[in-house]
């Protein structure tokens, strides 16, 4: 979501710089304060990830450190440093630097967050479609060593998945702006600011929801080629000699190896081969220990993601239609539909990640290292339970705080973003000691 | 063994990692230190100013920890895996500390209510202490050595981490950070509000020196393996010597009111102490107590040459880049923090 709000910030601030219109200044400052909250939460909850590789997945770390480590290091030194460095100016420098410098900082933070997605998607994609490596050693001491850095970076799936992830982020941000603007519009508050915010976000949302459909299709083709077990799980397809159906929704019974649902016969075959009649590799082609066991979970997550994706396209196109008819803000039911809209891309992004990661099981590096061989052998179960409960409690607390503060900011709205009343009334402002010795 | 300018890649990466670690200690050291002493500031306005002094820069400082972790993971994955899984519980507590410190800084002024502010002040202080102490504890244990088996994995009990040396190092680190943080605050604020900090700074200096002396004596008596490098190459005694000189310089500069110079001295102290530690442990990364042959060194714990080669290139491009724009950001916020300045957006 930081990536998405970052994009909207860049757009709003650019418009402000170009037109000098106070409306865009207020929009920018409002979303900056929301961004601060979201980014802060992101840093707080995300910092654990880098440590988790070592604490919980020590065997994995030893196995892939040679390959994966350089991607992670690049993320740290190029992306995190960039976004965190300029964040200071972004949030605290409005009155300190010129408009152009501040805009530059906004762009740098946005680019930093995008660039950080690059490296983490490269690393995760290497786990899905490994490339540019060779295996050294055997048994317990086996590890992957990098042979070609660029082959590792541009492994078969990284670029497509990167675009897919970026677009998911842009949609999350755009829909967040749409939600908040729609809320203001139905409550008839801040209308002069909410209308342009809504329109700008609608353009972004419409474009990227259509683009995401295209990227999704490209991703599925990659999965078909490189991770056939995952593809088979996504649609609950077992028999390798049968034509594969595409489901609009349903339920997979893994024990009976049956799917019950609404289907397009041969739909998956068509997706993969552009031929409704061609068989697709099924789960039976793999030994049970080499294919995912949670087939229904993968099926549901995958379909949830698609259903939401389609819903988003429908909703945004409908809104665009009314905009063209100049009746966009006349239909309150449409605005109400957008208010909870922020949940849609977030749910879709999460479902997508679940599909990707659960679908890759039992492998942590597809075809090379099993998840069951990757965990830290020296860490005991009670330690893991301790940390699980600890973080469950901490994250729950953080979530409550997040919602509370977010709500406060939204209720306060963009008009008062410039005012920091408590500081103007600070008792020390007129303290003579403060002025002693100053010219 | 491929070399660059006559030094092999493994040694280079040891230097890079050490530099990143020092950078982290110097940068996050001052905002952690400022956090540790936060509750010593009594007035709400003093606390707000102290937070505003570190507000724009603390996140960028913390990134060096992430970069350091990444550098360890990438260059010395065996050491990374061993240390992080061995110190599981202490690291989890450390992470919770990190989370709450960041949250406390960002959230403190979001609600204008006295109890809210005071609660988050306490969280900020306690979490800063937790972070500093656990960092010192991990450092102390890694330096002194932990029991490792033939697969270079931890073979002990995590309760053994609370031993005298590690606790000493934890307290020494925290004292040094508090001194460093106090000087930073003195540098960034108007002196009238922080007369007390002046007194704190001197107390922290004394506290640090005492801890440092005890730690050094303990090392000389009980940890012979750490002294071999220095005793074999006495010329390297210059580093601890310079460290002592720079810490001695601090109270002098504070008395003169030259806070920038005091800050440079405390920065130098941190760097020189870490260099001394590096000399002490070299070539080990994680010494194995009991069975030294199981130690993880910069050679047996490292990535392949090709990986180190890539990493060195990344570092060569990345570090100057980060240094450049970080300098720009610090420069943007140069000067004293004022109470009537609008904070953030």
Q: How confident is the model over A316-327, as pLDDT tens digits? A: 999 999 998 888
β-strand A369-370 against A363-365: which pairing, if any?
antiparallel
Q: Note the pLDDT of residue A105.
A: 93
Tokens for A35, please give them. 């961004």
Query: Which residues of chain A neighbour B75 with C-beta distances below 8 Å?
Result: 69
Highest mean pLDDT: which range of A320-329, B28-37, B290-299: B28-37
3-state secondary structure of B204: helix
Query: Which residues of chain A neighbour B69 with C-beta distances below 8 Å?
Result: 50-51, 54, 76
Average pLDDT, chain B: 88
Q: Quick check: B84 and A61 CB within 8 A?
A: yes
Domain of B109 in residue numbering reads as 9-332
Q: What is the pTM of this model?
A: 0.88
pLDDT at position A436 over 60:
no
pLDDT at position B21 over 70:
yes
Query: Which residues of chain A neighbour B71 with C-beta distances below 8 Å?
Result: 73, 76
Rounded to an integer, the average pLDDT of A395-420 is 83
Q: Per-residue pLDDT tens for A236-256?
A: 888 888 888 888 888 888 888
pLDDT at position A392 over 50:
yes
Return the residue in B57, B68, B72, B73 with the most chain A beta carbons within 10 A, the one to mutate for interface testing: B73
Q: Quick check: A136 and B304 CB within 8 A?
A: yes
Question: Model confidence at B341, in pLDDT bands (50, 70, 90)?
Answer: low
Task: Search chain B and give the residue with CA nearest A66.
Answer: B303
Query: What's the rounded Cα separation, in Å, for the pair B299 and B119?
Result: 48
Q: Note the pLDDT of residue A139.
A: 74
Q: Per-residue pLDDT tens for A149-204?
A: 898 899 999 999 999 999 999 999 999 999 999 999 999 889 899 999 999 999 99
- Determine contact, residues A290/A229, Cβ cutoff 8 Å: yes
Question: Model confidence at A426, in pLDDT bands (50, 70, 90)?
Answer: very low
Average pLDDT, chain A: 87
Assess B156–A contact: CB distance below 8 Å, yes or no: no
Query: Which residues of chain B neighbour A402 with C-beta distances below 8 Å?
Result: none
Domain membership flag for residue B161: yes
Q: Per-residue pLDDT tens for A1-12?
A: 899 999 999 999
Q: Note the pLDDT of residue A302.
A: 93
Query: Which residues of chain B neighbour A408 with C-beta distances below 8 Å?
Result: 110-111
Q: What's the gap in Å between the CA of B154 and the closest CA on chain A? A: 7
Would you tell me which residues 179-218 of chain B have a C-beta closer than 8 angstroms to some C-beta of chain A?
190, 192
Tokens for A243, please give them. 């034509």
Task: Search chain B and give the residue with CA nearest A430.
Answer: B340
Rounded to an integer, the average pLDDT of A273-298 is 87
Query: Which residues of chain B neighbour A379 with C-beta distances below 8 Å?
Result: 85, 88
Helix intervals (H) in B145-162: none
Question: Model confidence at A438, in pLDDT bands (50, 70, 90)?
Answer: very low
Q: Quick check: A93 and B333 CB within 8 A?
A: yes
Rounded to an integer, the average pLDDT of A251-271 is 85
β-strand B3-4 against A369-370: which pairing, if any?
unpaired
Cα A91-A96-A100 angle, rounded to 5 deg: 80
pLDDT at position B119 over 50:
yes
CA atoms within 13 A on the CB side of B108: 27
Q: Quick check: B326 and A85 CB within 8 A?
A: yes
Would you tell me which residues 100-139 of chain B have a C-beta closer than 8 angstroms to some C-beta of chain A?
100, 102-103, 106-107, 109-112
3-state secondary structure of A260: strand
Domain membership flag for residue B226: yes
Long-range contacts from B194-203, C-beta under 8 angstroms, 24+ separation: B194/B46, B196/B40, B196/B41, B197/B37, B197/B41, B198/B254, B200/B37, B200/B40, B201/B250, B201/B251, B201/B254, B201/B262, B202/B251, B202/B254
Assess A146–B contact: CB distance below 8 Å, yes or no: yes
pLDDT at position A205 over 60:
yes
Q: Note the pLDDT of residue B289.
A: 85
Q: Is A150 exposed, middle or buried (0-12, 13-18, 19+ CB in 10 A)?
A: exposed
ipTM of the complex: 0.86
Q: What's the gap in Å between the CA of A66 and the closest CA on chain B? A: 5
Q: Note the pLDDT of residue A256.
A: 83
Q: Please state the φ and ψ torsions of residue A247, each to the nearest 5 degrees.
A: -100, 145
Q: Quick check: B85 and A428 CB within 8 A?
A: no
- Determine contact, residues B118/A102, Cβ cutoff 8 Å: no
Rg of chain A on CA atoms, in Å: 25
Q: Quick check: A65 and B74 CB within 8 A?
A: yes
Query: What's the rounded Cα separation, in Å, for the pair B14 and B315?
Result: 12
Give the number of domains in chain B.
1
Query: Which residues of chain A neighbour B57 with C-beta distances below 8 Å?
Result: 88
pLDDT at position A427 over 60:
no
Q: Note the pLDDT of residue B114.
A: 84
Query: Which residues of chain A neighbour B83 with C-beta distances below 8 Å?
Result: 54
Q: Per-residue pLDDT tens for A54-104?
A: 899 988 998 888 888 888 889 989 999 899 889 988 888 888 888 999 999
Question: Model confidence at B88, in pLDDT bands (50, 70, 90)?
Answer: very high
Query: What's the rounded Cα separation, in Å, for the pair B111 and B95?
Result: 25
Q: Quick check: A77 and B315 CB within 8 A?
A: yes
Query: What's the rounded Cα separation, in Å, for the pair A158 and A219?
Result: 10
Assess A423–B contact: CB distance below 8 Å, yes or no: yes
Question: Which of B45, B315, B329 lies closest to A426 in CB terms?
Answer: B45
Q: Note the pLDDT of residue A241.
A: 85
Those residues with Cβ within 8 angstroms of residue A280's Cβ, 6 or more apart along the chain or in another chain: A224, A228, A231, A232, A237, A240, A243, A244, A268, A269, A272, A273
Rounded to an integer, the average pLDDT of B62-90 is 92
- Determine contact, residues A420/B52, Cβ cutoff 8 Å: no
Query: Which residues of chain B neighbour A140 with C-beta distances below 8 Å?
Result: 151
């Amino acid at each position: 979501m930081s990536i998405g709000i970052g994009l909207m910030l860049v757009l709003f601030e650019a418009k402000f710089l170009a037109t000098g219109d106070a409306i865009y200044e207020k929009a920018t400052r409002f979303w900056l304060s929301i961004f601060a909250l979201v980014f802060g939460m992101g840093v707080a909850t995300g910092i654990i990830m880098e440590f988790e590789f070592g604490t919980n997945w020590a065997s994995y770390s030893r196995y892939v450190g040679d390959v994966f480590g350089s991607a992670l290091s690049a993320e740290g030194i190029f992306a995190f440093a960039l976004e965190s460095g300029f964040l200071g100016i972004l949030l605290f420098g409005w009155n300190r630097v010129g408009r152009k410098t501040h805009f530059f900082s906004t762009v740098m933070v946005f680019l930093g967050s995008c660039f950080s997605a690059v490296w983490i998607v490269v690393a995760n994609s290497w786990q899905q479609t490994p490339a540019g490596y060779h295996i050294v050693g055997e048994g317990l001491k086996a590890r992957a060593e990098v042979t070609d850095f660029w082959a590792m970076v541009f492994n078969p799936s990284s670029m497509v998945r990167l675009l897919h992830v970026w677009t998911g982020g842009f949609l999350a941000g755009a829909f967040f702006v749409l939600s908040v603007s729609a809320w203001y519009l139905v409550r008839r508050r801040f209308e002069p600011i909410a209308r342009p915010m809504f329109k700008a976000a609608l353009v972004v949302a419409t474009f990227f929801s259509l683009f995401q459909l295209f990227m999704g299709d490209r991703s599925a083709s990659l999965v078909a080629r490189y991770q056939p077990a995952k593809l088979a799980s996504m649609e609950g397809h077992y028999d390798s000699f049968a034509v594969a159906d595409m489901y609009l929704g349903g339920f997979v019974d893994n024990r009976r190896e049956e799917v019950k649902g609404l289907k397009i016969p041969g739909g998956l075959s068509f997706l993969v081969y552009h031929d409704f009649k061609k068989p697709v590799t099924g789960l039976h082609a793999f030994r049970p220990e080499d294919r995912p066991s949670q087939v229904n979970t993968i099926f549901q997550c995958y379909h949830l993601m698609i259903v939401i994706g389609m819903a988003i396209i429908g909703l945004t196109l409908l809104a665009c239609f009314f905009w063209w008819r100049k009746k966009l803000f006349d239909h309150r039911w449409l605005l109400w539909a957008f208010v909870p809209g922020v949940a849609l891309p977030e749910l879709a992004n999460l479902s997508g990640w679940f599909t990707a990661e659960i679908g890759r099981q039992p492998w942590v590096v597809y075809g090379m290292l099993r998840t069951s061989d990757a965990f830290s052998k020296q860490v005991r179960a009670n330690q893991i339970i301790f940390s699980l409960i600890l973080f469950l409690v901490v994250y729950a607390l953080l979530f409550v705080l997040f919602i509370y503060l977010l709500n406060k900011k939204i209720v306060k709205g963009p008009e008062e973003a410039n005012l920091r009343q408590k500081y103007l009334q600070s008792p020390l402002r007129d303290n003579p000691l403060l002025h002693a010795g100053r010219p | 063994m491929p070399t660059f300018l006559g030094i092999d890649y493994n040694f280079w990466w040891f230097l890079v990692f050490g530099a990143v670690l020092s950078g982290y200690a110097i940068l996050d050291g001052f905002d952690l230190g400022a956090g540790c002493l936060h509750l010593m500031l009594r007035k709400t306005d003093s606390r707000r100013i102290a937070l505003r002094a570190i507000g724009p820069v603390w996140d960028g400082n913390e990134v060096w920890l992430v970069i350091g972790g990444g550098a360890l993971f990438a260059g010395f994955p065996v050491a990374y895996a061993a240390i992080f899984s061995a110190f599981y519980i202490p690291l989890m507590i450390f992470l919770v500390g990190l989370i709450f410190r960041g949250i406390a800084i960002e959230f403190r002024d979001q609600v204008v209510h006295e109890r809210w502010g005071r609660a988050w002040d306490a969280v900020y202080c306690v979490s800063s202490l937790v972070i500093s102490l656990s960092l010192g504890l991990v450092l102390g244990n890694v330096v002194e050595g932990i029991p490792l088996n033939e697969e270079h994995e931890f073979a002990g009990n995590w309760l053994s981490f609370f031993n005298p040396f590690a606790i000493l190092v934890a307290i020494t680190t925290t004292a040094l950070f508090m001194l460093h943080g106090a000087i930073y605050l003195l540098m960034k604020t108007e002196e009238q509000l922080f007369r007390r900090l002046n007194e704190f700074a001197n107390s922290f200096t004394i506290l640090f020196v005492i801890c440092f002396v005890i730690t050094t004596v303990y090392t000389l008596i009980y940890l012979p393996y750490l002294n071999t490098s220095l005793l074999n190459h006495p010329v390297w005694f210059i580093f601890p010597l310079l460290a002592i000189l720079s810490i001695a310089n601090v109270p002098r500069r504070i008395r003169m009111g030259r806070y920038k110079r005091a800050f440079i001295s405390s920065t130098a102290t941190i760097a020189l102490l870490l260099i001394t530690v590096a000399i002490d442990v070299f070539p080990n990364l994680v010494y194995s107590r009991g069975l030294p042959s199981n130690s993880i060194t910069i050679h047996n714990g490292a990535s392949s040459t090709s990986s180190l080669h890539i990493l060195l290139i990344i570092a060569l491009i990345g570090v100057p880049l980060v240094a450049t724009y970080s300098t720009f950001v610090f420069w943007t916020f140069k000067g004293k923090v004022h109470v009537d300045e609008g904070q953030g957006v």
